[in-house]
C-alpha cells in the first residue's frame, strides 16, 4: 500500500473571479431564482440593525444629559420609555423578518444546486474522466450542501457588511467631530489587520489542490465502504482491515494539512488582538484625558466612549466581514469554474443529423487522461449503414473505448471520426446521441417504475411499446409475475416497496430500454454477460429481429455470438489485428481462431462432464 504524497512545488491556483464579481453572480442568481424579496429582506434587516445600534448608543447619554440639566423625573422616565419602546419595536420587527429570511436564501442555494446537477448531467463523458473535473465537482456539491455553505451563508455576510458599513459611516462623522487623530489611528491599525489576516486566511485556497487530493482519497474510502456493490467483497475477502488502514492513512494526511493550516490561521487572531488593544488603548487614553482636563462633560464622554467602541467594532466587523466574504468568494469562484467547465463537444448549433449513414474512423488513437499509453492506436475502420459489426479481444484491448468513440462519448486524442463524410466535431453532440440506442456494461437502474426505466421519460409513455420491447428482450414474463407489474418500483434505497432484479434480469431490462429508444444505431456491450446459457441462446435467436434495419456494434468475449454479425474485428495491442467474417477468421487460423477453439473446447469439456454426471 503506497503512501499518500503531495507535491508541494505545484503552482498555486488563483481564483478565476474576484469577490465583487462573485457577489454580482449571487445577486443575478437570486433574480434568476425569482427570489428578489431577498434584497428587500436584507435591506430591512440592515436598517433595523443600524437603528437599534444608534438607539442603544444614545440611551445612556440622553439620561445623563437630563440629570445634568436637572430634568424632572417624569421627563427622564418618558425618555427611557421612548428609547426602550423604540428598541423593543425594532427588535420585534427584526426578529419577525429574520425568522422568514432563511427561506429565500435556501431557495437561491437550491437553484444553484439545480444548476450543479444539470451540469453534471450534460457535461461530456470525456470531461468526467478528468481529475480536475472530479475535484471541482465534489467541491461544487459541498458549496451547496447545507445552510452554512457559501451559496447561502453569503447573504448573512452581506447583511452584516451592510449594517456595519452604514453604522461605520455614521460613527465616522461623529468621531471626526471629536478628534481626527483617533480616526486615523483606528483606520490605519484596522487596515493593517485586514490585509494581513486576509492573506493568512487565503492559505486554504492557495493550497486547495493539496487539500483536495487528501480529501478525495478519504471520500473514496467512504464511498467504497458505503457501496452496496462492494459490500459482498468487503465481507468475503475481509477487506475491512485494509480499508481501515487506508482511511487511517488518509485521516493522518488530512489532519496534518489542517493542523498546518490552523497554525497559520492563528496568526490572524493574534494580529487582530494586538491591533484591537492598540486601537482601544489610544481611544480611551484620549477620552479620559479630555474629561480630566475639562474639555468634555460626562454625557459627551459617555457618548464618545460608546461611539469609539462601536466605531472600532464596526470597522473590525467590516474588515472581518470582507475576510469572510473573501473566503466565501473563493468557494463561489470554484463553484463557477465547475459550472463553466470547458465543454469539448458542441451541444448548441452544429450539424443536426437526420440519420447516421457511414461512420469512418481515420487513424484514430485514444489515450485516457493521466495515462502514458494509447488504448487504441492508428485505427482505420468504416461502418456501413445496416452493417452488424462485432468487436472482440481480451480484457483491456480497447473494445468499449472504440465503441464510445463511435457513439461520440469520447473524441480521439489523434485522428478523425467522420459521420456521413463530416467531422463528428461539427455535429451537435446531443442530436447525434439521439441516433443511438445502447446497452453498456456499467448500466444504471433508476429509482422509478419498471415502465419508466424502459421508456426513460417522465412524460407520456407508450405502454404498448414498453410491453413490446420487454417481450423482445425476454423480460415481460418476469414483469407480469409481479404484483404491480410494470408499475413495480426499483431501487430500495428510495422506495420501501421496491424489488431487486437479478443481474440477468437487469441486463434484459437494459436491452428493453435500448429497444424502446429505437435509435438507428444499436450498441450492445456484453449484452449477455449476466445471462445463463439458455437465456443467452434466446437473445442470439432474436438477434436478427433486434438489429433489423439498424447499424449495430456487438461487443462480446463469447466468440460463438459473433457468427451472427456481418463482420468481426479483433483488437490486440491497441490495433485491429484481424478483420473478416467468422468463417474467414477461422480459416486464417490466427488469434481469433485460437480464442474460438479455446472457448469451444471449454464448453465441450463442460458438456462432457455434465453427461458423465
**What local confidence, expressed as pLDDT, does residue 206 receive?**
66
**What local confidence, expressed as pLDDT, does residue 22 receive?**
94
**For residue 8, pLDDT beyond 60:** no
More confident residue, 401 or 1: 401
**What local confidence, expressed as pLDDT, does residue 559 receive?**
76
DSSP-assigned letter for residue 2: P
Percent of the chain, pLDDT > 70? 88
Give CATH 3.40.50.300 domain extents, the chain. Answer: 350-435+520-613, 441-518
What does the pLDDT average to over 334-340? 93
**What local confidence, expressed as pLDDT, does residue 409 receive?**
93
Structure-block grid coordinates of residue 77: 422616565
Query: Which of these, 388, 368, 363, lies nearest to 523 by C-alpha position?
Result: 388
65-90 pLDDT, tens digit each: 776 667 777 777 887 788 788 888 88
Give CATH 1.20.1560.10 domain extents, the chain. Answer: 20-339
Rounded to whole angstroms, the Cα distance separating 2 from 33 reads 47
Residue 512 to residues 304, 393, 453, 582, Cα–Cα distance (Å): 80, 26, 9, 27
**For residue 369, pLDDT beyond 90:** no
**What local confidence, expressed as pLDDT, does residue 610 receive?**
44
For residues 542 and 524, the answer to whether their CB atoms sit within 8 Å is: no
- Topology of domain 20-339, per CATH? ABC transporter transmembrane region fold (1.20.1560)
What does the pLDDT average to over 9-18? 68
- Topology of domain 350-435+520-613, per CATH? Rossmann fold (3.40.50)
**What local confidence, expressed as pLDDT, does residue 585 receive?**
92
Percent of the chain, pLDDT > 90? 31
Q: CB within 8 A of 198, min separation 6: which ones?
A: 322, 323, 326
Rounded to whole angstroms, the Cα distance separating 213 from 253 reads 10
pLDDT band at 171 (very low <50, low <70, confident <90, very high): confident
Rounded to whole angstroms, the Cα distance separating 491 from 374 reads 38
**What local confidence, expressed as pLDDT, does residue 447 receive?**
85
Least confident of 371-375, 512-516, 599-603: 599-603
What average pLDDT does the structure give for the chain? 82
**What local confidence, expressed as pLDDT, does residue 331 receive?**
92
490-505 pLDDT, tens digit each: 987 778 888 888 888 8
Rounded to whole angstroms, the Cα distance separating 599 from 582 reads 14
pLDDT band at 179 (very low <50, low <70, confident <90, very high): low
390-447 pLDDT, tens digit each: 999 888 889 999 999 999 999 999 999 999 999 999 999 999 999 999 988 778 888 8
Rounded to whole angstroms, the Cα distance separating 219 from 254 reads 11
180-201 pLDDT, tens digit each: 666 777 677 767 766 776 666 6
What does the pLDDT average to over 482-488? 92
**What local confidence, expressed as pLDDT, does residue 272 receive?**
72
**What local confidence, expressed as pLDDT, does residue 612 receive?**
44
**What local confidence, expressed as pLDDT, does residue 1 receive?**
37
Rounded to whole angstroms, the Cα distance separating 349 from 209 reads 35
**What local confidence, expressed as pLDDT, does residue 203 receive?**
67
**What local confidence, expressed as pLDDT, does residue 6 receive?**
41
What does the pLDDT average to over 272-297? 74
CATH of 441-518, one of 3.40.50.300, 3.40.50.2000, 3.20.20.140, 3.40.50.1820: 3.40.50.300
**For residue 466, pLDDT beyond 90:** yes
Residue 10 CB neighbours (<10 A): 11
542: Cα within 13 Å, side-chain hemisphere: 19
Amino acid at each position: 500500500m503506497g503512501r499518500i504524497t503531495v507535491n508541494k512545488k505545484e503552482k498555486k491556483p488563483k481564483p478565476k473571479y474576484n469577490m465583487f464579481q462573485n457577489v454580482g453572480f449571487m445577486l443575478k442568481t437570486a433574480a434568476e431564482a425569482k427570489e428578489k424579496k431577498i434584497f428587500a429582506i436584507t435591506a430591512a434587516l440592515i436598517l433595523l440593525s443600524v437603528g437599534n445600534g444608534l438607539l442603544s448608543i444614545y440611551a445612556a447619554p440622553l439620561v445623563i444629559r437630563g440629570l445634568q440639566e436637572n430634568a424632572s423625573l417624569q421627563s427622564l422616565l418618558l425618555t427611557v420609555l421612548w428609547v426602550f419602546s423604540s428598541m423593543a419595536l425594532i427588535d420585534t420587527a427584526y426578529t419577525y423578518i429574520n425568522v422568514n429570511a432563511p427561506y429565500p436564501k435556501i431557495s437561491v442555494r437550491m437553484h444553484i444546486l439545480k444548476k450543479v446537477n444539470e451540469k453534471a448531467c450534460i457535461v461530456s463523458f470525456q470531461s468526467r474522466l478528468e481529475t480536475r473535473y472530479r475535484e471541482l465537482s465534489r467541491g461544487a456539491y459541498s458549496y451547496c450542501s447545507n445552510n452554512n455553505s457559501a451559496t447561502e451563508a453569503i447573504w448573512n455576510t452581506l447583511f452584516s457588511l451592510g449594517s456595519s458599513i452604514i453604522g461605520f459611516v455614521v460613527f465616522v462623522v461623529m468621531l471626526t467631530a471629536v478628534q481626527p487623530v483617533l480616526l486615523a489611528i483606528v483606520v490605519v491599525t484596522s487596515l493593517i489587520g485586514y490585509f494581513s489576516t486576509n492573506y493568512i486566511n487565503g492559505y486554504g485556497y492557495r493550497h486547495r489542490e493539496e487539500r483536495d487530493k487528501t480529501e478525495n482519497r478519504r471520500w473514496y474510502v467512504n464511498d467504497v465502504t458505503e457501496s452496496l456493490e462492494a459490500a459482498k467483497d468487503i465481507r468475503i475477502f475481509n477487506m475491512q482491515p485494509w480499508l481501515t488502514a487506508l482511511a487511517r492513512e488518509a485521516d493522518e494526511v488530512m489532519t496534518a494539512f489542517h493542523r498546518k493550516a490552523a497554525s497559520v490561521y492563528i496568526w490572524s487572531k493574534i494580529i487582530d488582538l494586538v491591533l484591537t488593544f492598540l486601537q482601544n488603548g489610544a481611544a480611551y487614553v484620549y477620552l479620559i484625558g479630555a474629561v480630566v482636563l475639562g474639555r468634555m462633560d460626562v454625557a459627551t464622554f459617555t457618548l464618545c466612549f460608546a461611539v469609539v467602541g462601536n466605531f472600532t467594532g464596526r470597522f473590525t466587523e467590516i474588515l472581518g466581514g470582507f475576510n469572510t466574504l473573501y473566503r466565501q468568494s473563493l468557494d463561489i469562484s470554484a463553484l463557477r469554474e465547475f459550472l463553466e467547465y470547458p465543454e469539448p463537444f458542441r451541444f448548441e448549433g452544429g450539424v443536426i443529423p437526420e440519420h447516421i449513414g457511414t461512420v469512418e474512423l481515420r487513424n484514430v488513437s485514444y489515450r485516457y487522461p493521466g495515462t502514458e499509453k494509447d488504448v487504441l492506436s492508428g485505427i482505420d475502420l468504416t461502418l456501413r449503414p445496416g452493417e452488424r459489426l462485432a468487436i472482440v479481444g481480451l480484457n483491456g484491448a480497447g473494445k468499449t473505448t472504440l465503441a464510445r468513440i463511435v457513439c461520440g462519448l469520447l473524441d480521439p486524442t489523434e485522428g478523425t471520426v467522420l459521420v456521413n463524410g463530416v467531422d463528428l466535431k461539427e455535429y451537435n453532440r446531443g442530436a447525434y446521441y439521439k441516433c443511438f440506442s445502447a446497452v453498456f456494461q456499467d448500466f444504471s437502474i433508476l429509482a422509478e417504475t419498471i415502465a419508466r426505466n424502459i421508456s426513460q421519460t417522465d412524460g407520456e409513455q407508450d405502454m404498448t411499446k414498453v410491453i413490446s420491447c420487454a417481450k423482445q428482450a425476454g423480460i415481460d414474463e418476469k414483469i407480469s409475475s409481479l404484483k404491480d407489474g410494470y408499475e413495480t418500483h426499483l431501487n430500495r434505497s428510495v422506495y420501501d416497496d421496491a424489488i431487486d432484479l437479478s443481474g440477468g434480469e437487469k441486463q434484459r431490462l437494459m436491452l428493453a430500454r435500448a429497444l424502446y429508444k429505437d435509435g438507428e444505431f444499436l450498441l450492445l456491450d456484453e449484452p449477455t454477460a449476466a445471462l445463463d446459457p439458455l437465456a443467452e441462446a434466446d437473445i442470439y435467436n432474436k438477434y436478427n429481429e433486434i438489429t433489423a434495419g439498424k447499424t449495430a456494434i456487438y461487443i462480446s468475449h463469447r466468440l460463438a455470438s459473433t457468427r451472427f454479425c456481418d463482420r468481426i474485428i479483433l483488437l490486440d495491442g491497441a490495433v485491429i489485428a484481424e478483420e473478416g467474417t467468422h468463417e474467414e477468421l477461422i480459416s486464417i487460423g490466427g488469434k481469433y481462431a485460437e480464442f474460438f477453439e479455446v472457448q469451444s473446447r471449454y464448453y465441450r469439456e463442460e458438456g462432457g462432464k455434465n453427461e458423465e454426471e
